[in-house]
Structure 1
Amino acid sequence: MTDTVRPGVDSEVGRLRTVLLHRPGPELKRLTPRNNDQLLFDGIPWVSRAQEEHDAFAEALRSHDVEVLYLTGLLTETLALDEARHRAVEGVTASLRLGDTLRDHLRGWLGELAPEALTDVLTAGLRNDEVRGGAGLVTSLLADDDFLIDPLPNLLFTRDSSVWIRDQVAVTSLAMPARSRETQLTQLIYALHPRFAGTTTIHGWHREHVEGGDVLLLAPGVLAVGVGERTTPAGAERLARQVFADGSAHTVLAVPIAQDRATMHLDTVCTMVDVDTFTIYPNLADHLVAHTVTPGEEGRLEVAAAEPFLVAAAKAMGLDTLRTIDTGLDPVTAEREQWDDGNNTLAIAPKLAVAYERNVETNARLEAAGIEVVAIAGSELGSGRGGPRCMSCPVARDDLAPA
C-alpha cells in the first residue's frame, strides 16, 4: 500500500487504524415496497437520514484516529484504469437475462461512461426505462421499471464482501443472489487499485460461499467461522485449507449457527470487545458449539468433536477462560435488542467499542463491564439488519502479541 499504515489484521480488537466503509447512496433510493424483501431490507430507509447517521459513524471513527476509506471512492479511482473498466463492464453485462442485442449496446455505452458515472450504474443499478438505444425483444418485453442491472443496497455492509487475515485479504463469496456482484467489485478494487498493489488475495467471489460477517479473528492465528444461512460447510473448509496452507492461521473453529434472520451471521451471535471478552446473545449462549479444525498430514484437516464454543475458543486462544457479557437483562429484552443489532459491536481498541445508541440495556451492560461505548444513531442504518461491525471492514489494526 502506498500510505504509511501497513495493511493487516490479526484480531478483532487490536487498535483500529484503517477501515473500509460505504456511505449510503442512490442505491438505497432504488428500494420500493415491491423489491425491498428481495434486496434483503426489512423496510425502506429514509436515505438522507441514513447518510447523516453514517457520516456521524465515520466521524466517530476519525475522532479516534481511524483512517476511513470509502468503497465507491476507491472503485471510481480503480475504474480510471482501462483494465478495470473492461473487467467491470464485462462482468456486469454477463447476465443471461440481457440477450445479445441489449448486452452489446450496454457494453458500448458503459464503456464510454466517466469513472464516476460508471460507479453510479454499477452500484445503483439500471432500469429498462433508463436505457437509450439497444431496443429489441428484451427491452420490449420487460417492464419499464425492471432492472437490467440490479442495485446493490447491501454495499453498506462492507464486512461481508472481504475480510483481512493478517496481511492478506479474503474476498468472499456471498450466498444471496441480490449480493453476488458486491464481491466482484470488491475484488476489482483489491486487484487493481494502486493502494493495494502487492496485496495477496485469497478465496474469491467464484468460490464456495463464505461471508465476512461469519469470520471472527479471535486471536493471532485463530479464526472462528460461522456455518449456517450464509456460509456453507464447504466454504468453511475451503477457507481453513487456505489459511493453513499460507500459515496465516493454525486453528479454525467451525461454529454451526441457527438458520434465523435475527442470527444470520456469527457476528450477530457474538462479537469481541476485549482480548478475552465477548458480547453474546444469551438465548443462544448455552447452545453454541464449535468443531476445532487444525491442519493434519498430507493436506488433511483434523476435525474435533463438537464442544461448547467458549471452551473451544479459550483453548485455541491459549486462555484459561473467556469473559462474556450478555446483551440483555432477560430473554425478551435480549431478543428485542438482538433484532436491533445490539450484539453487533465494532471494537476500535481493547475495551472500546462502537454500538447503536438505541440498545440501552446492552450498552449499560457493556459499560458496567468496563467497556467504553461509542454510541451512534442507527434508526435508518439498521433497516438492512446490520450494526457497526457489519458496516465496517477493518483494513489495518495494530497487531496483538500471540497468546
Structure 2
Amino acid sequence: MSSSEHSSYGVDSEVGRLRSVMLHRPGGELRRLTPRNNGALLFDGIPWVERAQAEHDRFARTLLDHGVEVLYVGALLTECLYLSEAREEVIASVSADPRLGQILGGELRAYLSDLDPDRLASVLIEGLTKEEFGDSHSLRHRLMRGTDFVIDPLPNMMFTRDSSVWIGDAVAVTSLAMPARRRETALTGAVYRHHQRFADVPKIYDPSLEHLEGGDVLALAPGVLAVGVGERTTPAGAERLARRVFERGTVHTVLVVPIAQRRATMHLDTLCTMVDAERIVMYAPAERRLEAYTLRPDGDDLAIEGPRRFIEAAAEAIGVEAVEIIHTGERDVVTAEREQWDDGNNTLALSPGVAVAYERNAVTNARLERAGIKTMTIPGSELGSGRGGPRCMSCPIERDRM
C-alpha cells in the first residue's frame, strides 16, 4: 500500500483500534549473542533463534488476523537503500564510528558501498566481524580478534517501540541511552526521512537530543501523555518532548513519572500499560510507589505541579473519576514479581478491551480475562530474553482516534 492510500497517520491513545504497526523480525543479529557479549548487548540469555523467530511470526500473525497492517523495518530500510541519499547517509553514519579510526573507517565505507541494498540492510542490522570484513591496513584491525565486531549487531532492533514513537500525527525518532542501541535510530531515522510512505510526516524529536525512549512514553488518552524517567529517559528528555508536543497543540498534559533505575524497570511500560480507555494493568508495588509531576503549557514556559500519586494524576488528566487497575499476579508477592519480570504488564492493545500478552504470565492473563479484557496470548520464552513484551516489540503508526 502506498502512502497516498493513507488518509492519515497517527496515534492519540494506547487503545484505539490498531490499524498499522512497525515490527522487526529477529534474525542473524541474535546469532551474534554469546555468553561473552550478551550482557553488553542487553540480553539476559542466549535465545534459540529459530524459536524466537517462530514466536515473533506468531505475534505478527495475531496482528494480521485482527486486521492490522504489519510493516517490517528491514524491508522498509532495504527500499530506502535504493536511494543514493539514504544509502550514503547510513554508510557515513556507521563508518564514522570513532572506535574504528580513520583508516578502518574509510575501508569500511568502501566495503559497504559495494553491497547491494538487501545485503547492506542485513549487515547494518546483523553486524560484521573482522573475519567477515577481511584484510585491512589499519592498526585497529590488526589488534582485533577475528570475532570482534567492525559493526556491532543490533539484537534489540526487534523492540521497535523504543527507537520511534508516534504522538498525534507526528513521529519522534528517539535518543537511545544505552551504547548497544544508539545506532538503531540511525536506521529508523533513515526510514522516516527517506521512505516515500513517511515523506509528509512531521518529525518532532531526533537522536541528537536528550535521552528519550519510546517504552517510556504512554498515550494515556487523547491529549495526555505519561513519560517515565529513569534508566533510559532523562528528565531533560521528558521536558524537551513536553515543550514540543505543547507547541504543536496535540497534547495538553504530560505526566512525568520517575521510575527506579534498574533492569527490571527499564521503561514505564514494564510497570503498566493501558488495556482499555480507563483501565490499566499495573505491577501492584508500582501503584503505591509511582508519583507524577504534571506538566502543562504556560505561555512559552511550563507549569509544573506535584508530585502526587501517578494513578490519581492520570485520572484527573484523562478526566475520569478513577482509572481501574488490574494488578499483575494475585496478592502473592512472588508471583507478581515473577510476572512483572516476564513482561506481564507489557501488553499491546489491539482495540479497547482487547490486548496481546505473553502466554507465560498465566495469573495476570486470567485476571485480565476476569476483568473483561479479551487477552490474545502468544509464546515468548525466547523473545523475552531481551526483556520486552508485545508492546516493546511493536511501534503503532496508526490507530483509530478515540
For Structure 1 versus Structure 2, the TM-score category normalised by the shorter chain is: over 0.9
Indicate conservation of the 8 Å contact 1:2/1:194, yes or no: no
Report the equivalent of 2:321. Answer: 320
Indicate conservation of the 8 Å contact 1:327/1:338, yes or no: yes
Q: Secondary structure at the match of 1:151?
A: coil
Alignment of 1:119-130 (within 5 A): 119-130=121-132
Indicate conservation of the 8 Å contact 2:133/2:150, yes or no: no
Alignment of 1:348-387 (within 5 A): 348-387=350-389
- Compute the TM-score of the two structures, normalised by the length of structure 2: 0.98
CA distance in 1, matches of 2:96, 2:5: 35
CA distance in 2, matches of 1:218, 1:101: 49
Q: Confirm whether residue 302 of structure 1 aligns to residue 306 of structure 2.
A: no
User: What is the CA RMSD across the aligned residues, in angstroms?
Assistant: 0.8
Report the equivalent of 1:155. Answer: 157
Report the equivalent of 1:344. Answer: 346
Report the equivalent of 1:230. Answer: 232
Report the equivalent of 1:270. Answer: 272
Q: Confirm whether residue 398 of structure 1 aligns to residue 400 of structure 2.
A: yes
CA distance in 2, matches of 1:260, 1:100: 37
Alignment of 1:227-266 (within 5 A): 227-266=229-268
CA distance in 2, matches of 1:358, 1:139: 44
Q: Secondary structure at the match of 1:254?
A: strand
Report the equivalent of 1:51. Answer: 53
Report the equivalent of 1:192. Answer: 194
Q: Deviations over 1:132-162 (max 9, x none)?
A: 3433211111111111110000001000000
CA distance in 1, matches of 2:144, 2:214: 35
CA distance in 1, matches of 2:135, 2:113: 15
Report the equivalent of 2:174. Answer: 172
Q: Deviations over 1:164-205 (max 9, x none)?
A: 001100110000000000111111100000111111111111
Q: Secondary structure at the match of 1:286?
A: helix
CA distance in 2, matches of 1:308, 1:295: 21
Alignment of 1:128-139 (within 5 A): 128-139=130-141
Shift of 1:2: 2.9
Q: Name which of structure 1's ranges 132-141 and 309-318 shifts more when overlaid on structure 2.
A: 132-141
Q: Secondary structure at the match of 2:292?
A: strand
CA distance in 2, matches of 1:106, 1:137: 14
Shift of 1:6: 2.5
CA distance in 2, matches of 1:382, 1:164: 24
Which amino acid in 1 is paired with 2:185? T
CA distance in 2, matches of 1:318, 1:221: 11
Structure 2 gaps of 5+ residues are none
Shift of 1:98: 1.1
Shift of 1:3: 3.4
Shift of 1:260: 2.3
Which amino acid in 1 is paired with 2:328? T
**Inter-CA distance 279–5: structure 2 relative to 1 (3 Å threshold):** farther
Indicate conservation of the 8 Å contact 2:166/2:397, yes or no: yes
Report the equivalent of 2:204. Answer: 202
Q: Secondary structure at the match of 1:234?
A: helix
- Compute the TM-score of the two structures, normalised by the length of structure 1: 0.98
Indicate conservation of the 8 Å contact 1:210/1:235, yes or no: yes
Q: Name which of structure 1's ranges 16-25 and 131-140 shifts more when overlaid on structure 2.
A: 131-140
CA distance in 1, matches of 2:306, 2:14: 26
Report the equivalent of 2:75. Answer: 73
Shift of 1:27: 0.4
CA distance in 2, matches of 1:230, 1:3: 36
Report the equivalent of 2:41. Answer: 39
Indicate conservation of the 8 Å contact 2:355/2:376, yes or no: yes
Which amino acid in 2 is paired with 1:131? F
Shift of 1:248: 1.4
CA distance in 1, matches of 2:92, 2:42: 26
Indicate conservation of the 8 Å contact 1:5/1:18, yes or no: no
Shift of 1:5: 5.9
Q: Deviations over 1:348-378 (max 9, x none)?
A: 0000000001110000000000000000000
Shift of 1:108: 1.2
- Equivalent position to 1:88, from 72, 83, 90: 90
CA distance in 1, matches of 2:111, 2:264: 41
CA distance in 2, matches of 1:93, 1:77: 21
Identical pairs, percent:
61
Which amino acid in 2 is paired with 1:301? L
Indicate conservation of the 8 Å contact 1:106/1:134, yes or no: no
Indicate conservation of the 8 Å contact 1:166/1:248, yes or no: yes
Q: Secondary structure at the match of 1:306?
A: strand
Q: How many residues end up aligned between the 2 structures? A: 399
